[in-house]
C-alpha cells in the first residue's frame, strides 16, 4: 500500500469511472420503475416532453413513499381553498398576467374548470407554442400522482410540459422557478413545500408575466395574487372522522386513538377535524390518545405502545394511510380482528384500497384525488389561455372509500 | 494494543491522510476512562463506567412506578424489539465514527437494500434466502463504494456519504416509483422481525448476537485494535504499519452490510417497502451512537454503551405513550430527556 492511496493514479481514474458508470446503471433502473413518475434522484432535474408524447402512468393512488411526505409536505400547509382564511386574501390584480383569461371570483369547484369544446380548440390552436412548467418534489406517491394528472391533462390539451423535481429542497425549488422563467415559460403549476422561502420566487415570476397556479396549497392565491387548486384539510379530516364515527357508533364506548403529525400545521387541522367529527358522530366513543404517526414505522411503534396502555383500544384514525398500516399491524399483533378493531386513514393509497377490499381491520380511507388535483390545475391554465375565467381558489373534493 | 505507543507520537506536518480532529493521545481502546478512574470507589467507578446504563435504569424505575404497564414482560420485549433495527444499524455507525469518519447514508442504504430485497421477492419471485443475500450484498456494496470514495478518492466522509445518501435515496424512490411495495410474497421475511425463539423475539436475539460479535471484534481482535488506533491517530497508525485505508474501506463495507441487514429487518417489520424505508432511521442511529458516548472525533467509545443507548431511545417513545403524554408534548419531552441524558453522561465523566 502506498500509505495514502489504496489505488494508484491510473487505477484511481478507473475507480472513478466505474463509480460514475455504476451511478448511471443505477439510474437506468428507473426505466423499470412502476408509476414512472419519479424523474430524478440526485439533483433538481428538468425533464421535458412534447404534447404528443405519452403521459406517465395513471396510477391514481396518492401518498407516502416516505410515509409523511405525501400526506404532509404534499398537502396544503395551511387551510386551503374553501377555508375562512380566503376571505382575507389579497387582491388578484397581478394574476393571470401571462394569459388572456381573468378571475371569475374568489372560490369555485373543479367542475367550473371544465373547458368547453371551443376553449379546448382554442388551447390546442396555441398549444404547440405553450409550455407549462410543473414544479414539485416527486419523491412521494401523492405528489407523483398530482404531477401525473397535470401531465396527462397537458397532453390532452396539446400543451408542452417541463417538469422540475426539487426534492423538498426549497433552494432547488426557487432555482427551478427561476430556470423555468428564463426558459420563457409563461404558465406554471407549482407545489410549495416551504411557502415562506419560495413565495418570493413566485412573485418574481409573476412580475415577469408568468401565470402561477398552486396545487396542494393556497399561498400563491393568498399572497401573490395567483391561483390555488387544492383539497381542504378540514374536509379531509371531517370525512375521515365521520367514517370512523360511523364504525364506532355500533361498537359502544370504543376507545379510539388519533395518529397525528404535529409538526405540519395543515395536518393538525386535519386531525382536529377528525376529533370533532368523531365526537359529533359517536359521542359515546372515547378518544384516549393523540400521538405522532405519519409513517408506517411510527404508526406501528406508537400503536404497539398504545395497546400496552389501552389493551381494549378499538380504533385508530390516522392522518394518512401509512400510519394506519402500522396500526393494522399492531392490532394484528394483539390478535385483534376487524370485528373488534378498526383503522381509518387518509389518502386512499392503492395499498389502503386493497386492505379495505379485504374487509379486515382497515375499514376506510379518504381519497385526496391527486390526479384530479393535477388535472384541474392544468385545466385552469387551459381556461386562462382560452380567455376564460377562473376562480382564485378551487376546492378539490375528497371522497371516502369504504369498499 | 500494538499501536498504542505509536499513536502517542506527535503527528507529522503535511500528512495527507485524512485525520480526525484529535490531539495526540494514548490509545486506550475500548475503555475511554482508563487512566482517569484509578483510586475511585466502586460506586463511583460503576457510575463512571456505566453512567448511561444507570441513567436508563433510573428512567425505567420511574416508568415502572409511574405507569401500569411498562415493566411487564410483554412491554419490555416490545421495547427491545422496537430498538432492534436501530440497534443493528448503529453498530455500523459506531465502527465508522470510531474511525473518526461519519456515514450519513446509513438510512438510504437501509432503503435501497430493503427495496431491492422486496422487489426480488415480489417481482422476481426468488427464494427468501436469495432475497436476503441481495439485501446484504447491496448494503455491503454501497458501503464499499462509501469506503472507496473516502480512501481511494480522498473525499471527506461527510460529503461522500452525503452524496451517497442522495444517490441511494433517489435510487430507492426510482425502484419503487414512489409507491409502497407490499404483498404476501414478503411473508417469508416475517420471521426476521416478528418471529420468536423460546418466547424471545428473534430480532432481539439477532441484535444481541450482533452486539456480542461487535464487542468481540472490537475488543478481542487485531481489527478492533486497528479501528481504535486509526480513530485516535491515523498518521501514527500508518507509521505503526496499519493499513489505514484498508481498515477504513473494510469498516465502511461492514457498516453497509449491517445497514443491509437493517433494511431486511425493516421490510420484515413493516411487511412492506417504500423509498423512504430507512430515511427516518439516520437521526436515531446517530443519536444512539452519540448518546452511547462514542466520540465524534474517533477513537473513543464502547459498543455496549451504544446498545444501551439504542434501547434507551426506544423506551422514550414507549414510556411517554404509557405516561399518556400527547403528541405535541412528546416532542418536547423526548428532546428534553435526550439532552438530560447527555448532560448527566457528560457530568458523570467529568
Domain A45-231+370-401, CATH: 3.40.50.2300
Q: Which residues of B touch A66 (CB under 8 A)?
A: 274-276, 279-280
Question: Which pLDDT tens digit goes with each residue over B106-121?
Answer: 999 999 999 999 999 9
pLDDT of residue B4: 37
Q: Is the pLDDT of residue B255 over 50?
A: yes
Spatial distance between the Cα atoms of A378 and B198, rounded to a whole number of angstroms: 59
Q: Is the pLDDT of residue A2 over 60?
A: no
The answer to whether the A45-231+370-401 and A233-367 domains have the same CATH topology is: yes
**ipTM metric:** 0.74
Report the residue from A37, A69, A301 with minimal CB separation from B276. A69
Report the residue from B167, B243, B274 with minimal CB separation from A65. B274
CATH code, B52: 1.10.3470
pLDDT of residue A128: 72
Report the residue from A15, A65, A297 with minimal CB separation from B180. A65
Q: Is the pLDDT of residue B141 over 60?
A: yes
Q: Is there a contact between A308 and B182 if contact means CB atoms under 8 Å apart?
A: no
| B53 or B99: which leads in pLDDT | B99
Spatial distance between the Cα atoms of B339 and B333, rounded to a whole number of angstroms: 10
3-state secondary structure of A226: coil
Mean pLDDT throughout A139-148?
Answer: 82
Spatial distance between the Cα atoms of B327 and A110, rounded to a whole number of angstroms: 35
pLDDT band at A85 (very low <50, low <70, confident <90, very high): very low
pLDDT band at B21 (very low <50, low <70, confident <90, very high): very low
Nearest CA in chain A to B265: A297
Q: Is the pLDDT of residue A271 over 90?
A: yes
**B 160-199 residues inside an 8 A Cβ radius of A:** 163, 166-167, 169-171, 173-180, 182, 194
Q: Is the pLDDT of residue A205 over 90?
A: yes
B122 Cβ contact list (under 8 Å, min separation 6)? B181, B183, B185, B186
pLDDT of residue B349: 64
| A173 or A43: which leads in pLDDT | A173
Report the residue from A22, A292, A296 with minimal CB separation from B330. A292
B16 within a domain of the structure (yes/no):
no
Q: How far is CA A61 from CA A354, B178, B314, in A?
A: 11, 10, 32
- The mean of the pLDDT values for chain B is 85
Q: Which residue has the cell 392503492?
A: A350
Contact predicate B181/B122, CB 8 Å? yes
Host domain of residue B280: 26-349
What is the reported pTM?
Answer: 0.72
Cβ burial A198-235 (10 Å sphere, 16+ → b, else e): bbebbbebbeeebbbbbbbbbbbbbbbbbbbbbbbbbb
Mean pLDDT throughout B3-7?
Answer: 37
Mean pLDDT throughout B204-233?
Answer: 96
Q: Which residues of A touch B276 (CB under 8 A)?
A: 64-67, 69, 139, 295
**B 318-347 residues inside an 8 A Cβ radius of A:** 318, 321-322, 324, 326-328, 330-331
B239 within a domain of the structure (yes/no):
yes
pLDDT of residue B230: 96
Question: Could you tell me how many CB contacts below 8 A there are between chain A and chain B?
Answer: 187
Nearest CA in chain A to B86: A297
pLDDT band at B328 (very low <50, low <70, confident <90, very high): confident
3-state secondary structure of A122: helix
Q: Is there a contact between B317 and A305 if contact means CB atoms under 8 Å apart?
A: yes
Q: Is there a contact between B75 and A308 if contact means CB atoms under 8 Å apart?
A: yes
Q: How far is B41 from chain A (nearest CA, A)?
A: 40
Q: Where are the domains of chain A?
A: 45-231+370-401, 233-367
Domain A233-367, CATH: 3.40.50.2300
Q: Is the pLDDT of residue B317 over 60?
A: yes
Spatial distance between the Cα atoms of A292 and B277, rounded to a whole number of angstroms: 17
Best A30, A271, A308, A313 member to test B by mutation, with max B CBs in 10 Å, is A308
Contact predicate A326/A298, CB 8 Å? yes
Mean pLDDT throughout A250-279?
Answer: 89
Q: Which residues of B touch A329 (CB under 8 A)?
A: 270-271
Q: Is the pLDDT of residue B126 over 70?
A: yes
Contact predicate A142/A75, CB 8 Å? yes
Report the residue from A35, A260, A333 with minimal CB separation from B178. A35
Q: How far is A5 from chain B (nearest CA, A)?
A: 6
Q: How far is CA A277 from CA A258, A287, A290, A340, in A?
A: 12, 12, 15, 21
Q: Is there a contact between B78 and A42 if contact means CB atoms under 8 Å apart?
A: no
Mean pLDDT throughout A3-30?
Answer: 38
Q: Is B49 left (phi over 0), alpha (psi -120 to 50) or beta?
A: alpha
Q: Which residues of A touch B152 (CB under 8 A)?
A: 5-7, 12, 15
pLDDT band at A43 (very low <50, low <70, confident <90, very high): very low
pLDDT band at B146 (very low <50, low <70, confident <90, very high): very high
pLDDT of residue B181: 87
Q: Which residues of B touch A370 (CB under 8 A)?
A: none
Q: How many domains does chain B have?
A: 1
pLDDT band at A189 (very low <50, low <70, confident <90, very high): very high
For residue A100, count other CB atoms closer than 10 A to its CB: 12
Q: Determine what percent of chain A is predicted with pLDDT higher than 70.
A: 73
Cell triple for A113: 374548470
Q: Is there a contact between A64 and B276 if contact means CB atoms under 8 Å apart?
A: yes
Q: Is there a contact between A289 and B324 if contact means CB atoms under 8 Å apart?
A: yes
B270–A contact, CB cutoff 8 A: yes
Q: Which residues of A touch B317 (CB under 8 A)?
A: 301-302, 305
Q: Determine what percent of chain B is predicted with pLDDT higher than 90.
A: 60
Question: Which pLDDT tens digit goes with each residue over B25-35?
Answer: 434 444 444 44
Q: Is there a contact between A6 and B249 if contact means CB atoms under 8 Å apart?
A: yes
| B216 or A90: which leads in pLDDT | B216
DSSP A55: P
> For the CA atoms of B296, B301, B303, B304, what is the dihedral angle to 10 degrees?
-130
Q: Which residues of A touch B280 (CB under 8 A)?
A: 66-67, 295, 297-298
Q: Is the pLDDT of residue A64 over 70?
A: no
Mean pLDDT throughout A332-336?
Answer: 93
Contact predicate B263/B278, CB 8 Å? yes
Instruction: Name the residue among B89, B76, B84, B30 with its Cα closest to residue B261.
Output: B89
Q: How far is A142 from chain B (nearest CA, A)?
A: 8
Instruction: Name the residue among A25, A41, A20, A42 with its Cα closest to residue B149.
Output: A20
pLDDT band at A207 (very low <50, low <70, confident <90, very high): very high
pLDDT of residue A239: 95
B1 within a domain of the structure (yes/no):
no
Question: Which pLDDT tens digit goes with each residue over A233-247?
Answer: 889 999 999 999 999
Q: Looking at A64-78, A341-355, B242-256, which range is the least confident one?
A: A64-78
Question: Which pLDDT tens digit goes with each residue over B35-66?
Answer: 444 445 777 777 677 778 888 999 999 999 99
C-alpha distance across the termini of chain A, in Å: 65
Q: Is the pLDDT of residue A55 over 60?
A: no
Q: How far is A213 from chain B (nearest CA, A)?
A: 24
Report the residue from B182, B279, B324 with minimal CB separation from A66. B279
Q: Is there a contact between B245 and A301 if contact means CB atoms under 8 Å apart?
A: no
Question: Which pLDDT tens digit goes with each residue over A361-398?
Answer: 999 999 999 999 999 999 999 999 988 889 989 999 99
A64 Cβ contact list (under 8 Å, min separation 6)? A70, A71, A140, A141, A142, A295, A320, A321, A322, A347, A349, B180, B274, B276
Q: Is there a contact between A5 and B280 if contact means CB atoms under 8 Å apart?
A: no
Strands annotated E in A244-385: 255-260, 286-292, 313-318, 342-347, 362-367
B59 within a domain of the structure (yes/no):
yes
Amino acid at each position: 500500500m502506498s500509505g495514502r492511496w489504496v489505488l494508484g493514479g491510473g487505477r484511481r481514474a478507473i475507480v472513478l469511472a466505474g463509480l460514475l458508470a455504476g451511478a448511471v446503471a443505477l439510474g437506468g433502473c428507473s426505466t423499470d420503475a412502476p408509476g414512472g413518475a419519479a424523474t430524478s434522484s440526485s439533483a433538481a432535474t428538468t425533464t421535458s416532453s412534447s404534447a404528443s408524447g405519452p403521459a406517465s402512468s395513471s396510477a391514481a393512488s396518492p401518498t407516502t413513499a416516505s410515509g409523511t411526505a405525501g400526506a404532509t409536505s404534499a398537502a396544503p400547509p395551511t387551510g386551503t381553498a374553501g377555508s375562512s382564511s380566503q376571505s382575507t386574501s389579497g387582491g388578484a390584480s397581478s394574476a393571470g398576467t401571462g394569459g388572456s383569461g381573468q378571475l371569475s371570483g374568489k372560490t369555485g369547484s373543479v367542475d367550473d374548470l371544465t373547458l368547453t369544446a371551443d376553449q379546448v380548440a382554442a388551447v390546442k390552436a396555441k398549444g404547440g407554442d405553450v409550455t407549462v412548467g410543473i414544479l414539485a418534489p416527486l419523491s412521494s406517491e401523492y405528489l407523483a400522482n398530482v404531477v401525473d394528472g397535470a401531465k396527462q391533462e397537458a397532453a390532452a390539451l396539446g400543451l408542452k410540459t417541463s417538469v422540475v423535481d426539487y426534492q423538498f429542497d426549497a433552494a432547488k425549488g426557487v432555482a427551478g422557478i427561476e430556470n423555468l422563467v428564463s426558459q420563457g415559460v409563461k404558465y406554471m403549476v407549482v407545489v410549495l413545500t416551504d411557502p415562506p422561502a419560495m413565495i418570493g420566487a413566485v412573485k418574481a415570476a409573476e412580475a415577469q408575466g408568468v401565470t402561477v397556479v398552486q396545487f396542494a396549497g393556497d399561498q400563491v392565491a393568498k399572497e401573490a395574487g395567483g391561483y390555488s387548486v387544492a383539497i381542504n384539510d378540514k374536509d379531509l379530516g371531517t370525512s375521515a372522522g365521520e367514517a370512523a364515527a360511523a364504525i364506532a357508533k355500533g361498537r359502544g364506548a370504543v376507545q379510539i386513538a388519533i395518529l397525528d403529525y404535529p409538526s405540519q400545521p395543515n395536518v393538525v387541522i386535519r386531525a382536529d377535524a377528525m376529533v370533532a367529527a368523531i365526537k359529533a358522530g359517536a359521542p359515546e366513543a372515547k378518544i384516549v390518545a393523540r400521538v405522532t404517526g405519519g409513517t408506517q414505522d411510527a404508526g406501528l411503534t406508537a400503536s404497539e405502545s398504545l395497546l400496552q396502555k389501552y389493551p381494549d383500544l378499538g380504533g385508530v384514525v390516522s392522518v394518512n394511510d401509512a400510519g394506519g398500516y402500522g396500526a393494522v399491524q399492531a392490532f394484528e399483533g394483539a390478535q385483534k380482528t376487524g370485528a373488534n378493531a378498526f383503522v381509518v386513514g387518509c389518502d386512499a393509497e392503492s395499498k389502503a384500497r386493497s386492505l379495505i377490499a379485504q374487509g379486515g381491520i382497515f375499514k376506510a380511507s379518504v381519497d385526496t384525488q391527486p390526479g384530479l388535483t393535477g388535472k384541474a390545475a392544468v385545466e385552469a391554465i387551459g381556461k386562462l389561455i382560452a380567455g376564460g375565467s377562473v376562480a382564485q381558489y378551487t376546492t378539490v373534493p375528497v371522497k371516502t372509500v369504504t369498499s | 494494543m500494538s499501536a498504542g505507543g505509536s499513536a502517542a507520537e506527535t503527528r507529522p506536518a503535511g500528512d495527507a491522510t485524512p485525520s480526525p480532529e484529535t490531539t495526540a493521545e494514548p490509545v486506550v481502546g475500548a475503555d475511554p476512562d482508563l487512566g482517569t478512574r484509578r483510586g475511585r470507589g466502586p460506586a463511583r467507578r460503576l457510575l463512571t463506567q456505566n453512567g448511561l446504563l444507570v441513567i436508563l435504569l433510573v428512567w425505567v424505575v420511574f416508568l415502572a412506578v409511574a405507569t401500569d404497564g411498562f415493566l411487564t414482560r410483554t412491554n419490555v420485549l416490545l421495547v427491545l424489539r422496537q430498538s432492534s433495527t436501530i440497534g443493528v444499524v448503529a453498530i455500523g455507525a459506531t465502527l465508522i465514527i470510531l474511525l473518526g469518519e461519519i456515514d450519513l447514508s446509513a438510512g438510504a442504504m437501509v432503503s435501497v437494500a430493503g427495496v431491492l430485497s422486496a422487489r426480488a421477492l415480489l417481482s422476481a419471485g426468488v427464494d427468501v434466502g436469495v432475497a436476503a443475500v441481495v439485501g446484504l450484498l447491496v448494503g455491503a456494496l454501497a458501503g464499499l463504494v462509501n469506503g472507496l470514495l473516502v480512501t481511494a478518492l480522498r473525499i471527506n466522509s461527510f460529503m461522500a456519504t452525503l452524496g451517497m445518501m442522495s444517490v441511494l435515496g433517489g435510487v430507492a424512490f426510482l425502484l419503487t416509483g414512489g409507491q409502497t411495495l407490499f404483498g404476501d410474497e414478503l411473508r417469508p421475511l416475517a420471521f426476521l422481525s416478528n418471529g420468536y425463539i423460546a418466547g424471545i423475539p428473534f430480532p432481539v436475539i439477532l441484535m444481541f448476537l450482533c452486539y456480542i460479535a461487535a464487542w468481540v471484534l472490537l475488543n478481542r481482535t487485531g481489527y478492533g485494535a486497528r479501528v481504535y488506533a486509526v480513530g485516535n491517530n491515523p498518521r501514527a497508525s500508518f507509521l505503526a504499519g496499519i493499513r489505514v485505508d484498508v481498515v477504513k474501506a473494510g469498516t465502511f463495507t461492514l457498516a453497509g452490510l449491517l445497514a443491509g441487514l437493517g433494511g431486511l429487518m425493516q421490510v420484515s417489520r413493516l411487511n412492506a417497502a417504500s423509498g423512504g424505508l430507512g430515511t427516518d432511521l439516520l437521526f436515531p442511529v446517530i443519536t444512539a451512537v452519540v448518546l452511547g458516548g462514542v466520540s465524534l472525533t474517533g477513537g473513543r467509545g464502547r459498543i455496549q454503551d451504544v446498545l444501551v443507548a439504542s434501547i434507551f431511545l426506544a423506551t422514550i417513545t414507549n414510556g411517554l405513550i404509557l405516561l399518556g403524554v400527547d403528541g405535541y408534548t412528546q416532542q418536547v419531552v423526548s428532546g428534553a430527556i435526550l439532552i438530560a441524558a447527555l448532560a448527566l453522561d457528560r457530568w458523570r465523566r467529568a
